[in-house]
Amino acid sequence: MSTEVARFFSEQSPLATEVSSFRPREQQREMALAVADAIKNNAILVAEAGTGTGKTFAYLVPALLGGGKVIISTGTKNLQDQLFQKDLPMVRDALKAPVSIALLKGRANYICHYHLERTAHDGRFATREDIKHLGKIKKYAKITSTGDKSGVADVPENAPIWLQVTSTRDNCLGQECPNHKECFVLHARTEAMKADIVVVNHHLFFADVMLKDDGVAELLPACNTVIFDEAHQLPETASLFFGENLSTTQLLDLAQDSRIEALTSAKDFAPLPKACDELDKAARDLRLVFKKEGRMPAIATGSFKDFAPQLKNLSEKLKQINDMLESQAARSEGLENCWQRAQAFSLLLKNWQDDKADDKVRWLEVYHHSLQLNATPLSIAEIFEKQIGSTARAWIFTSATLAVKQDFSHYQGEMGLLKAKTACWDSPFDYEKQALLYVPSGLPEPNSEGYTEAVIQAALPMIEASRGRAFLLFTSLRAMQRAHEILTAEFDLRGWSYPLLLQGEGSRNELLGRFREHGNAVLLGSQSFWEGVDVRGEALSLVIIDKLPFAPPDDPVLAARIAQISKQGRNAFMEYQLPRTIITLKQGAGRLIRDENDRGVLMICDPRLITKQYGKRIWQSLPPMKRTRVETEAVAFFTAQSEATPRE
Query: In this predicted model, which residue has the larger pLDDT, 214 or 232?
Result: 232
Tell how strand 101-103 and strand 360-366 pair up: unpaired
Domain co-membership, 65 together with 140: no
Contact 536, 600 (CB under 8 A): no
Average pLDDT, the chain: 91
Residues 206 and 276 in one domain: no
State whether the Cα torsion 207-209-211-217 is positive or negative. positive
The C-alpha atoms of residue 317 and residue 280 are separated, in whole angstroms, by 9
Rg over CA atoms, the chain: 26
Q: Worst-scoring range by mean pLDDT, 179-183, 409-413, 559-563, 643-647?
A: 643-647
pTM score, whole prediction: 0.90
Is residue 107 very low, low, confident or very high in pLDDT (cuts 50, 70, 90)?
A: confident
- Lowest mean pLDDT: which of 65-69, 289-293, 586-590? 65-69
- Residues 569-597 have a mean pLDDT of 94
pLDDT confidence tier of residue 645, bands split at 50, 70 and 90: very low
Q: What is the CATH number of the domain that holds 487?
A: 3.40.50.300
Banded model confidence at residue 598, pLDDT cuts 50, 70, 90? very high
Domain-embedded: residue 179: no
Residue 212, pLDDT score: 55
Residues 6+ apart with CB under 8 A from 28: 9, 49, 53, 54, 55, 57, 58, 425
Q: Are residues 388 and 467 in the same domain?
A: no
* Residue 421 and residue 507 share a domain: no
Residues 80 and 20 grouped into a single domain: yes
Per-residue pLDDT averaged across 578-596, rounded? 94
Residues 107, 214: Cα–Cα separation, whole Å: 7
In this predicted structure, what is the pLDDT of residue 150? 85
Q: Which amino acid is at 433?
A: K
pLDDT at 336 (0 to 100):
93
For strands 101-103 and 197-201, give the pairing: parallel
- Do 305 and 324 belong to one domain? yes
Q: Give me the amino acid identity at 127.
A: T
Q: pLDDT by residue (tens digit) across 477-536?
A: 999 999 999 999 999 999 999 999 999 888 888 899 999 999 999 999 998 899 988 899
Number of domains in the chain: 4
Check if the beta carbon of residue 225 is closer than 8 Å to that of residue 39. yes
Confidence of residue 216 (pLDDT cuts 50, 70, 90): low
The DSSP code for 535 is -
For the chain, the distance separating the N- and C-terminal CA atoms, rounded to the nearest angstrom, is 55
Query: What are the residues whose beta carbons fall under 8 Å from the beta carbon of 288, sequence distance 6 or more?
Result: none
Is 173 a member of any domain?
Answer: no
Strand partners, 644: none
Report residue 358's pLDDT band, with 50, 70 and 90 as the boundaries: confident
pLDDT above 50 (res 644): no
* 181 belongs to a structural domain: no
- Cβ–Cβ under 8 Å, residues 528 and 458: no
Q: Residue 97: its pLDDT value, please?
A: 92
Residues 359 and 410 grouped into a single domain: no
Instruction: Let me know: does 149 contact 158? Beta carbons within 8 Å.
Output: no
Do 600 and 465 reside in the same domain of the chain?
yes
| pLDDT over 80 (residue 30) | yes
Which pLDDT belongs to residue 506? 82
CATH number for position 316: 1.20.1440
Q: Is the Cβ–Cβ distance between 601 and 438 less than 8 Å?
A: yes
How would residue 69 be classed by pLDDT, with cut points 50, 70 and 90? very high
Asked whether residue 646 carries a pLDDT value surpassing 80, the answer given is: no
How far apart CA 380 and CA 202 sit, in angstroms, is 15
Residue 178 placed within a domain: no
In a domain, 180, yes or no: no
Q: What is the mean pLDDT of residues 381-396?
A: 88
Looking at 390, 408, 425, which one is the last position of a domain? 425
In the chain, what percentage of residues exceed pLDDT 70?
97
Same domain, 600 and 499: yes
Q: Do residues 592 and 600 touch, judged by C-beta distance below 8 A?
A: yes
237-287: per-residue pLDDT in tens? 999 888 899 999 999 999 999 998 998 889 899 899 999 999 999 999 999
Least confident of 71-85, 573-587, 605-619: 71-85
Contacts of 162 (CB under 8 A, 6+ apart): 108, 149, 155
66 within a domain of the structure (yes/no): yes
Q: Cβ(478)–Cβ(485) under 8 Å?
A: no
Pair (356, 455) in one structural domain: no
Query: What is the phi/psi pair of residue 263, to 5°?
Result: -70, -30
Q: Classify residue 174: in a domain, yes or no.
A: no
The domain boundary, picked from 365, 393, 425, lies at 425
| High-pLDDT (> 90) share of the chain, % | 73
State whether 213 and 354 are in the same domain. Answer: no
Does the pLDDT of residue 292 top 50, yes or no? yes
Task: Measure the CA angle with vertex 35, ends 33 and 40; round to 5°.
Answer: 95
Q: What is the 3-state secondary structure (H, E, C) of 463-520?
A: HHHCCCCEEEECCCHHHHHHHHHHHHHHHHHHCCCCCEEECCCCCHHHHHHHHHHHCC
- Is the confidence at residue 218, as pLDDT, over 90? no
CA 518/CA 468 separation, integer angstroms:
10
Nearest to 351 by CA among 340, 338, 360: 360
Instruction: Clarify whether residues 633 and 492 are in a common domain.
Output: yes
Decide if 176 is inside a domain. Answer: no
Confidence band for 469, pLDDT divided at 50, 70 and 90? very high
pLDDT for the residue numbered 208: 75
Residue span of the structural domain in which 297 resides: 245-375
| CB contact set of 42 (below 8 Å; sequence gap of 6+) | 224, 392, 393, 394
